[in-house]
């Protein structure tokens, strides 16, 4: 078993290797003077079971291209099996044609990964679970909720409300509410543009309660900040946020720093920007979860008991 990583999140790759008690494989990403990328793997991989840890986060196109080059490199070097470990799957939000003459980028990226030579994929909290079906190779899809929920297990369930910031995250919120035995509420969110959302109504009761807003992604942070304002208006005493992927792009840090949010718990699928240090952030690691899944894939053991939300 050999584990490699591109430049997207080497710290997570090292933490996974620590869990597996393995050294991180030697891979160098170089750049030609015209900007083209090139990679070189230093270890002998002939006949090996190989894993590439590479979230396709910012800079998305660079990190995706590094991933594709690494897969191609391992395949041509006669690795027995190449598993693309995608802690964060970028381009996932374009998963259908919602108007004429637009691409389905989530499908295109799945095609690129399989065509490059990946034999299987290990993903975590895909933005839409149906993206698993965009791949014609096996996909193991894990959920970070069991890791994120740990910070809240000591909360009094009668004084806690789990909130979905939009209808799309209800299933995720229900999983948290079941684990924490807390009630559930839903915000009615409308997306005005890629950066702007509006949230005027919500279904549920948070008067005098602590709320935990849960989502898969914090991108521009419009969704969670709008939800926080609405929930405070409806009498929430504290607003906490838990999300798997801290994309934190555009105005996210500024919005979060001004929002009435007490704490933000995220995972280490994506490295945090420097500017995020001013936020009340708690980072929990998914290295053990991913490492355990990789160990089981390598040993041909069942991974399904790790699939629980």
- Residues in contact with ligand R5P by the rule CB under 6 A: 165-166, 168-169, 197, 215-223
Considering the complex, what minimum distance in angstroms separates the CB of residue 189 from ligand R5P? 7
Q: Which two tokens stand for residue 73?
A: 């490199």
- The residue assigned the tokens 């191609």 is 72
CA distance 16 to 86: 13
Q: What is the dihedral of CA 41, 42, 45, 50, to 10 degrees?
A: -50
225/294 with CB nearer ligand R5P: 225
CA distance 94 to 44: 37
- 10 Å CB burial of residue 197 (0-12, 13-18, 19+) is buried
CA distance 74 to 54: 14
Classify 107 as helix, strand or coil: helix
Provide DSSP, 45-72.
-TT-EEEEE----SSHHHHHHHHHHHHH
Q: Whose CA is closest to 269, among 292, 243, 249, 250?
A: 243
Q: Which two tokens stand for residue 77?
A: 């070097």
Q: Is 189 a catalytic residue?
A: yes
8/173 with CB nearer ligand R5P: 173
Strand stretches in 209-258, DSSP E: 210-218, 238-246
161 strand-pairing partners: 183, 211
Considering the complex, what minimum distance in angstroms separates the CB of residue 30 from ligand R5P? 34
Q: Which two tokens stand for residue 215?
A: 């989502």
Options 178, 189, 209, 210, the catalytic residue? 189
183 strand-pairing partners: 161
Considering the complex, what minimum distance in angstroms separates the CB of residue 288 from ligand R5P? 25
82/242 with CB nearer ligand R5P: 242
Considering the complex, what minimum distance in angstroms separates the CB of residue 194 from ligand R5P? 7
22/272 with CB nearer ligand R5P: 272
Considering the complex, what minimum distance in angstroms separates the CB of residue 249 from ligand R5P? 8
163/297 with CB nearer ligand R5P: 163
Residues found in the chain: 309
45/212 with CB nearer ligand R5P: 212
Q: Whose CA is closest to 286, among 26, 43, 42, 88?
A: 88
Considering the complex, what minimum distance in angstroms separates the CB of residue 29 from ligand R5P? 28
Q: Annotated active-site positions, please?
A: 189
């Amino acid at each position: 078993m050999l584990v490699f990583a591109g430049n997207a999140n080497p710290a997570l790759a090292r933490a996974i290797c620590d869990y597996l008690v393995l050294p991180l494989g030697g891979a160098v990403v170089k750049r030609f003077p015209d900007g083209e990328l090139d990679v070189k793997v230093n270890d002998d991989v002939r006949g090996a079971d190989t894993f590439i840890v590479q979230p396709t986060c910012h800079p998305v196109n660079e990190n995706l291209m590094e991933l594709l080059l690494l897969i191609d490199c391992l395949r041509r070097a006669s690795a027995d099996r190449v598993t693309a470990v995608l802690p964060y799957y970028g381009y996932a939000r374009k998963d259908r044609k919602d108007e004429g003459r637009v691409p389905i980028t989530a499908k295109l990226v799945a095609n690129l990964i399989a065509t490059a030579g990946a034999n299987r994929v290990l993903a975590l909290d895909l933005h839409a679970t149906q993206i698993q079906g965009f791949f014609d190779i096996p996909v193991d899809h894990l959920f970070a909720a069991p890791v994120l929920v740990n910070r809240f297990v000591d909360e009094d369930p009668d004084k806690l409300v789990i909130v979905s910031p939009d209808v799309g995250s209800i299933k995720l919120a229900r999983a948290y509410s079941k684990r924490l035995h807390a009630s559930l509420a839903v915000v009615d969110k409308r997306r005005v543009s890629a950066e702007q959302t509006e949230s005027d109504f919500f279904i549920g009761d948070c008067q005098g309660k602590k709320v935990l807003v849960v989502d898969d992604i914090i991108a521009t942070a419009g969704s969670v900040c709008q939800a926080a304002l609405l929930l405070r208006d409806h009498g929430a005493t504290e607003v906490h946020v838990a999300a798997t992927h801290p994309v934190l792009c555009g105005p996210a840090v500024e919005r979060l720093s001004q929002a009435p949010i007490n704490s933000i718990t995220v995972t280490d699928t994506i490295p945090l920007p420097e500017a995020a240090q001013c936020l009340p952030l708690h980072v929990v690691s998914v290295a053990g979860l991913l490492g355990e899944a990789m160990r089981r894939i390598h040993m041909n053991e069942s991974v399904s008991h790790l699939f629980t939300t």
